[in-house]
Chain A
Amino acid sequence: MAAISIRNVVKRYGTGAKANQVIHGVSAEIADGEFIVIVGPSGCGKSTLLRMVAGLEEITEGQIAIGPRVVNDVEPADRDIAMVFQNYALYPHMSVFDNMAYGLKIAKVPVAEIKTRVDKAARILELGALLERKPRQLSGGQRQRVAMGRAIVRQPQVFLFDEPLSNLDAKLRAQTRLEIQKLHAELGVTSLFVTHDQVEAMTLAQRMLVMNAGRLEQIGTPEEVYARPASTFVAGFIGSPPMNLLAGRAEGARFHVAGSTLALPAPAPRDGALVLGLRPEHAQWNATGETTWPLQVDVVEMLGAERLVHGRLGELAFTARIDGMLAPPKPGDTVALAPPPAQLHWFEVESQARVPS
């Protein structure tokens, strides 16, 4: 087991004027045994970062260390890592047993030892009955487990997961998520898990790295990231439906947005142009009192336990989430919402960063 240290890592493809920089100086310290999820939209560089840790991409600038050792120039096989790929990358012509044993065979581990390790991994992953099958005779979920088994038998310092659940159907994904959590609790190996799915990120992560456009937006526990998003990007990316972001101008306890002025329960941190954030689940429904906002209802969506109410505050779109048992509003209604003071988030317009409070 080992800690991972990522220091000012930059990735550029090409050189000179045609260079295309995809990672702009990312730093992170990952503790021994931690389960870290790297999350971000497609093309944000999260997979590239993972592949640099794996050694499949060269590091243009900066350093990556696994344990005490800087691994910039170490071959992937010698980094003491194991990786699970999105499409599993099982060797199609080898049996499940051989797929898991291949790395050990190359490392010249004694045959008896290989057998013990593979059998143990197969037991953990319930693959015992499938060891003689070929990958094409397996279902998607089974293939996924074989890919994890191949990683486990190596007994690595670090597990790297590159969107391993995105090829599974929704039910299997939820199930495998739990299995991965159990596995991590059991083995305690430092893990880096890349995903674009924020639910996966929230449920699996001990800490998460939120990335956008090659930059690190925020590092923190899921609770921190949800409760105190560091930027409008994080605020819009984490949480479903995303946080409502209202651009406007603050003036004491009033907030001027296009087409309306909203009363604030507490004065804004400063006057001037700001972005106000409020999560759909935090807006109090059918409130009374001084500081209520009139939401003009456009569309109501029924999700079972809850309803999503899409409407407008002045000219800005706003979504609220209400209990499914409440009587739903009709399109055209105006409903009074109250913003709880503790749940208001303030962001700068220019830098999109959170206003310190």
Chain B
Amino acid sequence: MVERRPGLNLLTHLILLIGVAIVAFPVYITFVASTHTAQEVVQAPMPLVPGAHLVDNYTTALLGTRTGHGSKAAVGRMMFVSLVSALIIAIGKIAISLLSAFAIVYFRFPLRMLFFWAIFVTLMLPVEVRIAPTYKVVADLGMLNTFAGLTVPLIASATATFLFRQFFLTVPDELVEAARIDGAGPMRFFKDVLLPLSATSVAALFVIQFIYGWNQYLWPLLVTTDESMYPVVIGIKRMIAGGEAQQEWNLVMATAILAMIPPALVVMAMQKWFVKGLVDTEK
């Protein structure tokens, strides 16, 4: 809709500015807090301009060289754990969903629909619902405090399988037949035709699943007890010691900012593909 009325323009901009302020101001405060000393942060009123301790705070947080209460694990290590877990979850989910959707759409095997519905039904069971039995299984397999324990239970994904199934159903049958006449076997067809066609959906899913993996909280909280296996989201929580001890809010805030950076980078890097994947209908 194109309207040429200055008054309306002003109003829409005002609404946008309010929206941005609501979303961005807390992030700004977090950033400001991460550049002051712990004492400055807890003053009232809190300073609203960045302070002089940016480098100090961030190196302290990253290297885990702080003193005081709560967990002292190095944020650098946590970021690494988070990154590896998020990547394994995102890539694993995409790989498994692509293959299972491929099987369901293009192969006729006994109980095919049963398998499909079995996958579909798990859509209705989030991790939280099946968390106790899953924990039992993972613990029995000795996967506590391992990357496998952090990622494997989160990889199976009905949503992604369903999404790829719907996409594959829109690929014209003639394309499959042309490939058959060209002599491409099933895996060849998958690799040479389906995969390139799914590229935008894969990119969109990667963004969503990376952030999903990165933001996991409840499950890592259960399966990690060792500081060296904390993902950063857990790390933030563990830094805050209970009771009335003085918190090093500046370091907590620095960690929070650090934890925000990788998902933001992924979104920015993949934004073009991400939007294309969500809206593209070109086949």
Which of these, B178, B188, B197, contacts A89 with CB under 8 Å? B178
Which of these, B180, B181, B184, contacts A82 with CB under 8 Å? B181
- B22-30, B94-102, B169-177: which one contacts chain A? B169-177
Encoded as 1 (CB less than 8 Å from any B CB) or 0, chain A from 57 to 90 comes to 0000000000000000001111001110111111
Encoded as 1 (CB less than 8 Å from any B CB) or 0, chain A from 119 to 160 comes to 000000000000000001000000000000010000000000
Q: Tell me which residues from 84 to 137 in chain A have a Cβ below 8 Å from any Cβ of chain B.
A: 85-93, 102-103, 106-107, 136
Residue of B nearest to A103 (CB): B182
Which of these, A75, A78, A82, A87, contacts B172 with CB under 8 Å? A87
Q: Are A106 and B181 in contact (CB under 8 A)?
A: no
Q: Are B184 and A83 in contact (CB under 8 A)?
A: no
How many residue pairs, one in A and one in B, have C-beta atoms under 8 Å apart?
A: 62
Q: What residues on B are CB-neighbors of A86 within 8 Å?
A: 174
Which of these, A78, A89, A103, A150, contacts B175 with CB under 8 Å? A89
Which of these, B175, B177, B183, B196, contacts A106 with CB under 8 Å? B183
Q: Are B184 and A106 in contact (CB under 8 A)?
A: yes
Q: A54 in the interface, Cβ–Cβ < 8 Å?
A: yes
| A83-B178 CB under 8 A given contacts A93-B196, A102-B192, A136-B282 | yes
Residue of A nearest to B199 (CB): A93
Q: What residues on B are CB-neighbors of A54 within 8 Å?
A: 177, 181
Q: Are A106 and B182 in contact (CB under 8 A)?
A: yes
From DSSP, what is the main secondary structure of chain B's interface residues? helix
How distant is the Cα of A92 from the Cα of B175 in the complex, in angstroms? Answer: 9
| A103-B181 CB under 8 A given contacts A87-B174, A89-B174, A91-B193 | yes
Which of these, A93, A102, A106, contacts B197 with CB under 8 Å? A93
Q: B283 in the interface, Cβ–Cβ < 8 Å?
A: yes
Q: What residues on A are CB-neighbors of B182 within 8 Å?
A: 77, 102-103, 106, 150
Residue of A nearest to B196 (CB): A93
Q: What residues on A are CB-neighbors of B282 within 8 Å?
A: 92, 136
Name 24 interchain pairs, CB-CB below 8 A, sorted by A. Answer: A54-B181, A55-B180, A75-B180, A76-B177, A77-B181, A81-B181, A83-B177, A83-B181, A85-B174, A85-B177, A87-B174, A89-B172, A89-B177, A90-B178, A91-B179, A91-B193, A92-B197, A92-B283, A102-B182, A102-B184, A103-B183, A106-B183, A106-B188, A107-B183
Chain B interface residues (CB < 8 Å from chain A): 172, 174-175, 177-184, 188, 192-193, 196-197, 199, 282-283
